[in-house]
Amino acid sequence: MNFERGESSLFVIKKKNEDLKNQIKSKEKIKIIKLYSYTIPKLEKYDLKKGRILKIKAKIILIDIGFKYDCILSKKELQILKINPRINELIDVIVEKLDYKGKCFLSYIKANKIKSWNRIKTAYRKNELVSFLVLSRTKGGLIVSLYNIDCFLPGSQIEYKKVTNFDYYVGKILIGKIVKINKTTKNIVVSHKIIIEKKNIKRKALIISNLNKGIIVEGVVKNITNYGGFVDLGCSLDGLCHISDISWKRIKHPVEKINLGERRNFLILSVDRHRKRVQLGIKQMIIDNWKSVIKKIFVSGKIIKGKINFLINFGILVEIYPCFEGLLHKKEEFKFHYKIYPKKMFKIGNVINILILGSKLKHKKIYFSFKII
Are the beta carbons of 240 and 233 closer than 8 angstroms?
A: no
Q: What is the DSSP letter of 83?
A: -
Question: What span, in angstroms and rounded, lies between the C-alpha atoms of 35 and 309?
Answer: 104
pTM for the model:
0.49
pLDDT, one tens digit per residue, over 178-220 is: 999 988 888 999 999 888 777 777 777 777 888 888 888 899 9
Overall CATH class of domain 129-196: mainly beta
pLDDT recorded at residue 177: 92
In the sheet that holds 303-312, the strands lie side by side as 324-329, 315-321, 303-312, 351-360, 365-370
Q: Pick the residue with more confidence: 224 or 161?
A: 224
CA distances from 205 to 197, 221, 231 (A): 12, 21, 17
Read off the pLDDT of each residue in 135-156 and give the average, rounded to a whole number: 92
Fold of 290-370: OB fold (Dihydrolipoamide Acetyltransferase, E2P) (2.40.50)
More confidently predicted of 162 and 31: 162
Sign of CA dihedral 158, 159, 160, 165: negative
CATH H superfamily, domain 48-111: Nucleic acid-binding proteins (2.40.50.140)
pLDDT above 70 for 270? yes
| DSSP-derived 3-state class of residue 25 | helix
Q: Please report which confidence band the pLDDT of residue 237 belongs to, taking 50, 70 and 90 as the band edges.
A: confident
Residue ranges covered by each domain of the chain: 48-111, 129-196, 211-286, 290-370
CATH 2.40.50.140 describes domain 211-286: yes
On the question of a common fold for 48-111 and 211-286, the answer reads yes
